[in-house]
Chains A and B, each alone.
Chain A
Protein backbone atom coordinates (compact mmCIF):
# COMPACT_ATOMS: atom_id res chain seq x y z
CA UNK A 1 0.00 0.00 0.00
CA UNK A 2 1.61 3.25 -1.12
CA UNK A 3 1.69 5.98 1.50
CA UNK A 4 2.56 9.58 0.65
CA UNK A 5 2.95 12.33 3.24
CA UNK A 6 3.13 16.06 2.46
CA UNK A 7 5.31 17.88 4.98
CA UNK A 8 7.25 21.00 5.90
CA UNK A 9 10.63 20.99 7.68
CA UNK A 10 9.72 21.67 11.32
CA UNK A 11 6.05 20.68 11.29
CA UNK A 12 5.68 18.75 14.57
CA UNK A 13 2.68 16.68 13.47
CA UNK A 14 4.44 15.71 10.22
CA UNK A 15 7.33 14.37 12.28
CA UNK A 16 4.93 12.56 14.64
CA UNK A 17 3.23 10.96 11.65
CA UNK A 18 6.55 9.83 10.13
CA UNK A 19 7.63 8.44 13.52
CA UNK A 20 4.33 6.54 13.62
CA UNK A 21 5.03 5.06 10.15
CA UNK A 22 8.57 4.09 11.20
CA UNK A 23 7.38 2.46 14.44
CA UNK A 24 4.85 0.43 12.48
CA UNK A 25 7.27 -0.37 9.64
CA UNK A 26 5.10 1.41 7.07
CA UNK A 27 7.03 2.56 4.02
CA UNK A 28 6.15 6.07 2.87
CA UNK A 29 7.20 8.73 0.41
CA UNK A 30 7.77 12.18 1.89
CA UNK A 31 6.84 15.16 -0.29
CA UNK A 32 8.31 18.23 1.40
CA UNK A 33 6.40 21.26 0.18
CA UNK A 34 8.84 23.66 1.81
CA UNK A 35 11.81 22.20 -0.07
CA UNK A 36 9.84 21.92 -3.28
CA UNK A 37 7.23 24.72 -3.42
CA UNK A 38 5.94 23.40 -6.75
CA UNK A 39 4.22 20.68 -4.70
CA UNK A 40 1.90 23.28 -3.10
CA UNK A 41 -0.48 23.16 -6.08
CA UNK A 42 -0.58 19.36 -5.87
CA UNK A 43 -1.29 19.55 -2.14
CA UNK A 44 -4.14 22.01 -2.71
CA UNK A 45 -5.61 19.99 -5.56
CA UNK A 46 -5.55 16.72 -3.65
CA UNK A 47 -6.69 17.91 -0.24
CA UNK A 48 -8.56 21.12 -1.08
CA UNK A 49 -6.46 23.02 1.43
CA UNK A 50 -2.88 24.06 2.25
CA UNK A 51 -2.25 22.70 5.75
CA UNK A 52 0.18 19.88 6.49
CA UNK A 53 0.54 17.05 7.20
CA UNK A 54 -1.61 15.53 4.51
CA UNK A 55 -1.40 11.79 4.12
CA UNK A 56 -2.48 9.94 0.99
CA UNK A 57 -3.13 6.22 1.26
CA UNK A 58 -4.41 4.76 -2.02
CA UNK A 59 -7.32 7.09 -2.82
CA UNK A 60 -7.87 8.27 0.74
CA UNK A 61 -6.71 11.72 1.80
CA UNK A 62 -6.18 12.31 5.51
CA UNK A 63 -5.66 15.91 6.64
CA UNK A 64 -3.66 16.23 9.87
CA UNK A 65 -2.16 13.50 12.03
CA UNK A 66 -5.09 11.34 13.09
CA UNK A 67 -3.56 8.21 14.56
CA UNK A 68 -6.84 6.32 14.99
CA UNK A 69 -7.83 6.91 11.37
CA UNK A 70 -4.36 5.86 10.17
CA UNK A 71 -4.53 2.64 12.19
CA UNK A 72 -7.90 1.84 10.64
CA UNK A 73 -6.85 2.67 7.08
CA UNK A 74 -3.59 0.75 7.40
CA UNK A 75 -5.23 -2.20 9.22
CA UNK A 76 -2.91 -1.92 12.20
Chain B
Protein backbone atom coordinates (compact mmCIF):
# COMPACT_ATOMS: atom_id res chain seq x y z
CA UNK B 1 0.00 0.00 0.00
CA UNK B 2 1.30 3.42 -0.93
CA UNK B 3 0.22 6.45 1.10
CA UNK B 4 -0.17 9.87 -0.49
CA UNK B 5 1.74 11.37 2.42
CA UNK B 6 3.77 10.03 5.32
CA UNK B 7 4.07 12.48 8.18
CA UNK B 8 7.01 11.91 10.51
CA UNK B 9 6.53 13.42 13.96
CA UNK B 10 3.48 13.66 16.22
CA UNK B 11 3.68 17.12 17.76
CA UNK B 12 1.69 20.22 16.84
CA UNK B 13 3.19 20.40 13.34
CA UNK B 14 2.74 16.72 12.51
CA UNK B 15 -0.80 16.51 13.89
CA UNK B 16 -1.73 19.81 12.20
CA UNK B 17 -0.42 18.38 8.93
CA UNK B 18 -2.36 15.14 9.48
CA UNK B 19 -5.64 16.99 10.03
CA UNK B 20 -5.27 19.06 6.87
CA UNK B 21 -3.99 16.12 4.79
CA UNK B 22 -7.03 14.10 5.79
CA UNK B 23 -9.35 16.99 4.91
CA UNK B 24 -7.66 17.17 1.49
CA UNK B 25 -8.60 13.47 1.13
CA UNK B 26 -4.96 12.42 1.02
CA UNK B 27 -4.26 8.86 2.12
CA UNK B 28 -2.37 9.82 5.25
CA UNK B 29 0.01 7.97 7.59
CA UNK B 30 1.51 9.67 10.64
CA UNK B 31 4.35 8.02 12.56
CA UNK B 32 5.61 9.26 15.93
CA UNK B 33 7.58 7.78 18.79
CA UNK B 34 5.33 9.64 21.23
CA UNK B 35 2.23 11.53 20.10
CA UNK B 36 2.20 15.03 21.52
CA UNK B 37 6.00 15.21 21.48
CA UNK B 38 7.72 17.86 23.54
CA UNK B 39 4.38 19.73 23.65
CA UNK B 40 3.35 17.22 26.32
CA UNK B 41 5.80 18.70 28.79
CA UNK B 42 4.44 22.27 28.98
CA UNK B 43 2.63 22.54 32.31
CA UNK B 44 0.50 25.46 31.20
CA UNK B 45 -0.11 26.89 27.76
CA UNK B 46 -1.44 30.42 27.82
CA UNK B 47 -0.86 31.36 24.18
CA UNK B 48 -2.92 28.81 22.26
CA UNK B 49 -5.87 30.99 21.43
CA UNK B 50 -9.18 29.78 22.81
CA UNK B 51 -7.71 27.47 25.47
CA UNK B 52 -6.16 29.70 28.15
CA UNK B 53 -4.28 27.80 30.83
CA UNK B 54 -4.60 24.35 29.25
CA UNK B 55 -1.77 21.91 30.00
CA UNK B 56 0.47 20.84 27.13
CA UNK B 57 -0.60 17.24 27.55
CA UNK B 58 -4.33 18.05 27.46
CA UNK B 59 -3.84 20.22 24.38
CA UNK B 60 -1.88 17.53 22.56
CA UNK B 61 -4.46 14.88 23.54
CA UNK B 62 -7.10 17.14 21.96
CA UNK B 63 -5.01 17.42 18.79
CA UNK B 64 -4.64 13.64 18.63
CA UNK B 65 -8.34 12.98 19.25
CA UNK B 66 -9.23 15.50 16.54
CA UNK B 67 -6.98 13.70 14.04
CA UNK B 68 -8.51 10.37 15.07
CA UNK B 69 -11.89 11.60 13.82
CA UNK B 70 -10.50 11.24 10.28
CA UNK B 71 -9.25 8.28 8.24
CA UNK B 72 -5.63 8.84 9.26
CA UNK B 73 -3.40 5.85 10.00
CA UNK B 74 -1.53 6.59 13.19
CA UNK B 75 1.53 4.48 14.07
CA UNK B 76 3.51 4.75 17.29
CA UNK B 77 7.07 3.91 16.36
CA UNK B 78 10.47 5.51 15.84
CA UNK B 79 11.54 6.21 12.28
CA UNK B 80 15.10 5.06 11.56
CA UNK B 81 15.47 5.81 7.86
CA UNK B 82 13.88 7.66 4.94
CA UNK B 83 14.87 6.66 1.41
CA UNK B 84 13.95 8.18 -1.92
CA UNK B 85 13.12 5.50 -4.49
CA UNK B 86 13.79 5.51 -8.24
CA UNK B 87 10.15 6.43 -9.02
CA UNK B 88 10.52 9.55 -6.80
CA UNK B 89 8.39 8.05 -4.02
CA UNK B 90 9.73 7.39 -0.51
CA UNK B 91 10.18 4.45 1.81
CA UNK B 92 10.15 5.03 5.55
CA UNK B 93 11.59 2.46 7.94
CA UNK B 94 9.99 2.30 11.38
CA UNK B 95 8.35 -0.75 13.05
CA UNK B 96 8.10 -1.91 9.42
CA UNK B 97 8.71 -0.28 6.05
CA UNK B 98 6.06 2.07 4.69
CA UNK B 99 5.78 3.61 1.24
CA UNK B 100 4.51 7.07 0.36
CA UNK B 101 4.39 9.52 -2.52
CA UNK B 102 5.53 12.34 -0.29
CA UNK B 103 6.90 13.23 3.14
CA UNK B 104 6.09 15.88 5.73
CA UNK B 105 8.99 15.92 8.16
CA UNK B 106 8.00 17.33 11.56
CA UNK B 107 10.32 15.69 14.07
CA UNK B 108 10.81 18.83 16.15
CA UNK B 109 13.61 19.23 18.64
CA UNK B 110 15.13 17.62 21.69
CA UNK B 111 16.40 19.17 24.91
CA UNK B 112 19.84 20.71 24.70
CA UNK B 113 22.26 19.72 27.45
CA UNK B 114 24.78 22.08 28.98
CA UNK B 115 27.79 19.80 28.61
CA UNK B 116 29.56 21.02 31.75
CA UNK B 117 31.38 19.15 34.51
CA UNK B 118 29.09 17.25 36.84
CA UNK B 119 26.04 17.37 34.55
CA UNK B 120 26.01 13.65 33.74
CA UNK B 121 27.09 12.68 37.25
CA UNK B 122 24.16 14.43 38.93
CA UNK B 123 21.38 13.68 36.43
CA UNK B 124 18.32 12.77 38.48
CA UNK B 125 20.20 13.59 41.69
CA UNK B 126 19.78 17.34 41.50
CA UNK B 127 20.20 17.96 37.77
CA UNK B 128 16.90 17.71 35.92
CA UNK B 129 15.38 18.47 32.51
CA UNK B 130 11.62 18.22 33.23
CA UNK B 131 10.44 20.77 35.77
CA UNK B 132 6.82 19.62 35.63
CA UNK B 133 7.97 16.11 36.53
CA UNK B 134 10.63 16.69 39.14
CA UNK B 135 10.09 20.25 40.44
CA UNK B 136 7.56 19.16 43.09
CA UNK B 137 10.21 16.83 44.57
CA UNK B 138 12.00 19.87 45.99
CA UNK B 139 9.50 21.51 48.34
CA UNK B 140 10.96 24.49 50.24
CA UNK B 141 14.36 23.93 48.64
CA UNK B 142 16.65 26.27 46.73
CA UNK B 143 16.34 25.67 43.02
CA UNK B 144 18.18 27.10 40.01
CA UNK B 145 16.90 27.30 36.45
CA UNK B 146 19.49 27.71 33.75
CA UNK B 147 18.39 29.52 30.59
CA UNK B 148 16.83 32.76 29.42
CA UNK B 149 14.05 31.73 27.03
CA UNK B 150 10.35 30.96 27.43
CA UNK B 151 10.89 27.52 28.95
CA UNK B 152 13.31 28.93 31.54
CA UNK B 153 10.88 31.73 32.43
CA UNK B 154 7.83 29.49 32.68
CA UNK B 155 9.89 26.88 34.53
CA UNK B 156 10.99 29.47 37.12
CA UNK B 157 7.36 30.51 37.69
CA UNK B 158 6.23 26.89 38.02
CA UNK B 159 9.05 26.04 40.42
CA UNK B 160 8.32 29.09 42.59
CA UNK B 161 5.15 27.26 43.67
CA UNK B 162 7.37 24.64 45.35
CA UNK B 163 10.85 25.95 46.10
CA UNK B 164 11.82 28.51 48.77
CA UNK B 165 14.06 30.46 46.37
CA UNK B 166 14.44 30.25 42.60
CA UNK B 167 17.58 31.52 40.86
CA UNK B 168 17.18 32.00 37.12
CA UNK B 169 20.72 31.89 35.76
CA UNK B 170 20.95 33.66 32.40
CA UNK B 171 24.17 33.81 30.39
CA UNK B 172 23.19 36.90 28.40
CA UNK B 173 22.51 40.47 29.61
CA UNK B 174 18.76 40.09 28.88
CA UNK B 175 16.15 37.32 28.88
CA UNK B 176 14.41 36.13 25.70
CA UNK B 177 11.23 34.90 27.44
CA UNK B 178 7.94 36.56 26.46
CA UNK B 179 7.65 40.00 28.10
CA UNK B 180 4.53 38.93 30.04
CA UNK B 181 6.49 36.03 31.53
CA UNK B 182 9.38 38.33 32.45
CA UNK B 183 6.93 40.71 34.15
CA UNK B 184 5.49 37.83 36.18
CA UNK B 185 8.99 36.77 37.18
CA UNK B 186 9.90 40.28 38.33
CA UNK B 187 6.75 40.45 40.44
CA UNK B 188 7.48 37.08 42.03
CA UNK B 189 9.37 37.57 45.30
CA UNK B 190 10.83 34.06 45.26
CA UNK B 191 12.53 34.50 41.88
CA UNK B 192 15.93 36.11 41.51
CA UNK B 193 17.06 36.66 37.92
CA UNK B 194 20.83 36.43 37.63
CA UNK B 195 21.79 37.99 34.31
CA UNK B 196 25.25 37.55 32.76
CA UNK B 197 26.01 34.48 34.84
CA UNK B 198 27.29 31.25 33.42
CA UNK B 199 27.32 27.84 35.09
CA UNK B 200 30.61 26.01 34.62
CA UNK B 201 30.32 23.05 36.99
CA UNK B 202 27.85 21.18 39.18
CA UNK B 203 29.18 19.91 42.50
CA UNK B 204 27.98 17.79 45.40
CA UNK B 205 28.53 14.32 46.82
CA UNK B 206 25.67 11.83 46.64
CA UNK B 207 23.30 14.62 45.68
CA UNK B 208 23.84 18.01 44.06
CA UNK B 209 24.95 20.77 46.41
CA UNK B 210 25.42 23.65 44.03
CA UNK B 211 26.72 25.31 40.91
CA UNK B 212 30.10 26.88 40.27
CA UNK B 213 29.77 30.04 38.20
CA UNK B 214 32.23 31.46 35.70
CA UNK B 215 32.87 34.50 37.92
CA UNK B 216 34.22 32.17 40.60
CA UNK B 217 31.18 32.36 42.86
CA UNK B 218 29.25 29.34 44.07
CA UNK B 219 25.48 29.11 44.09
CA UNK B 220 24.24 26.65 46.69
CA UNK B 221 21.12 24.88 45.42
CA UNK B 222 19.43 21.52 45.91
CA UNK B 223 18.28 21.21 42.33
CA UNK B 224 18.91 22.72 38.94
CA UNK B 225 16.64 22.58 35.92
CA UNK B 226 18.29 23.03 32.54
CA UNK B 227 16.23 24.93 29.98
CA UNK B 228 18.74 26.22 27.46
CA UNK B 229 16.78 25.47 24.33
CA UNK B 230 16.63 22.60 21.93
CA UNK B 231 18.48 20.87 19.12
CA UNK B 232 16.61 20.22 15.86
CA UNK B 233 16.19 16.53 15.04
CA UNK B 234 16.97 16.98 11.36
CA UNK B 235 19.44 14.09 10.95
CA UNK B 236 17.05 11.79 9.01
CA UNK B 237 16.22 14.60 6.58
CA UNK B 238 19.91 15.39 6.15
CA UNK B 239 20.55 11.76 5.19
CA UNK B 240 17.95 12.24 2.42
CA UNK B 241 19.95 15.24 1.10
CA UNK B 242 17.48 17.80 2.43
CA UNK B 243 19.27 21.12 2.88
CA UNK B 244 19.75 22.31 6.43
CA UNK B 245 21.41 25.44 7.80
CA UNK B 246 24.49 25.59 10.01
CA UNK B 247 22.32 25.26 13.15
CA UNK B 248 20.59 22.11 11.87
CA UNK B 249 17.27 23.70 10.86
CA UNK B 250 15.68 22.59 7.57
CA UNK B 251 15.55 25.22 4.85
CA UNK B 252 12.00 25.62 3.53
CA UNK B 253 10.25 28.12 1.28
CA UNK B 254 7.06 29.89 2.35
CA UNK B 255 5.01 26.83 1.36
CA UNK B 256 7.13 24.47 3.56
CA UNK B 257 8.81 22.82 0.57
CA UNK B 258 12.42 21.69 0.88
CA UNK B 259 14.92 21.28 -1.97
CA UNK B 260 13.79 17.65 -2.42
CA UNK B 261 10.74 17.04 -4.61
CA UNK B 262 7.84 15.67 -2.55
CA UNK B 263 9.53 16.45 0.78
CA UNK B 264 8.07 19.18 3.02
CA UNK B 265 9.13 20.09 6.54
CA UNK B 266 7.09 21.80 9.25
CA UNK B 267 7.30 23.02 12.82
CA UNK B 268 10.17 23.83 15.15
CA UNK B 269 12.59 22.06 12.85
CA UNK B 270 12.38 24.57 9.98
CA UNK B 271 13.89 27.98 9.26
CA UNK B 272 10.45 29.46 8.52
CA UNK B 273 9.72 31.04 11.91
CA UNK B 274 12.01 32.05 14.74
CA UNK B 275 8.93 32.00 17.00
CA UNK B 276 8.77 28.33 17.96
CA UNK B 277 5.27 27.85 19.35
CA UNK B 278 2.27 25.49 19.11
CA UNK B 279 0.52 27.98 16.86
CA UNK B 280 3.37 28.45 14.38
CA UNK B 281 4.03 24.70 14.28
CA UNK B 282 0.39 23.80 13.63
CA UNK B 283 0.22 26.52 10.95
CA UNK B 284 3.32 25.20 9.19
CA UNK B 285 1.84 21.69 9.29
CA UNK B 286 -1.35 22.86 7.59
CA UNK B 287 0.59 24.77 4.90
CA UNK B 288 2.76 21.70 4.27
CA UNK B 289 -0.39 19.59 3.76
CA UNK B 290 -1.66 22.05 1.17
CA UNK B 291 1.68 21.96 -0.65
CA UNK B 292 1.61 18.17 -0.73
CA UNK B 293 -1.99 18.21 -1.96
CA UNK B 294 -1.01 20.53 -4.84
CA UNK B 295 2.06 18.42 -5.59
CA UNK B 296 0.07 15.20 -5.80
CA UNK B 297 -2.67 16.82 -7.89
CA UNK B 298 -0.37 18.63 -10.37
CA UNK B 299 2.92 16.72 -9.98
CA UNK B 300 4.70 20.07 -9.79
CA UNK B 301 7.20 21.12 -7.14
Contacts and interface: CB of A to CB of B under 8 A. Distances in A.
Interface of A: 8-16, 33-34, 37, 40, 44, 47-53, 63, 67
A50 B133 contact: no
A47 B132 CA distance: 19
For the residues of B in contact with A, the DSSP-based class is mixed
A56 to B, nearest CB: 15
Given A11-B130, A50-B124, 13 more contacts: A8-B136, A9-B136, A11-B132, A12-B56, A13-B133, A15-B57, A33-B136, A47-B124, A48-B125, A49-B125, A50-B126, A50-B134, A51-B123
B229 to A, nearest CB: 19
A37 B130 contact: no
Contact of B43 (A10, A34, A53): A10
A52 B134 contact: yes
Given A49-B125, A51-B128, A16 B40 contact: yes
Contacts of A13: 40, 130, 133
A37 B134 contact: no
B139 interface: yes
Interface string B34-57: 100000110100000000000111
Contacts of B132: 10-12
Given A8-B137, A12-B41, A40-B137, A51 B124 contact: yes
7 contacts: A10-B43, A12-B40, A34-B137, A50-B125, A50-B207, A51-B134, A52-B134
A51 B43 CA distance: 17
Contacts of B124: 47-51, 63
Given A49-B124, A50-B124, A14 B133 contact: yes
Contacts of B223: 50
Nearest to A11: B133
Interface of B: 34, 40-41, 43, 55-57, 76, 123-126, 128, 130, 132-137, 139, 207, 223
Question: Which of B40, B76, B133, B207 has the most chain A CB atoms inside 10 A of its CB?
Answer: B133
A76 to B, nearest CB: 13
B224 to A, nearest CB: 12
Contacts of B40: 12-13, 16
Contacts of A10: 43, 55, 132, 136
A11 B131 CA distance: 8
Contacts of B135: 8
A52 B40 CA distance: 15
Nearest to B132: A10
A34 B40 CA distance: 20
B90 to A, nearest CB: 25
B186 to A, nearest CB: 24
Nearest to A35: B136
B75 to A, nearest CB: 13
Nearest to B138: A50
A58 to B, nearest CB: 22
Nearest to A9: B136
A34 B133 contact: no
A75 to B, nearest CB: 18
Contacts of A37: 139
B133 A53 contact: yes
A12 B125 contact: no
B154 to A, nearest CB: 13
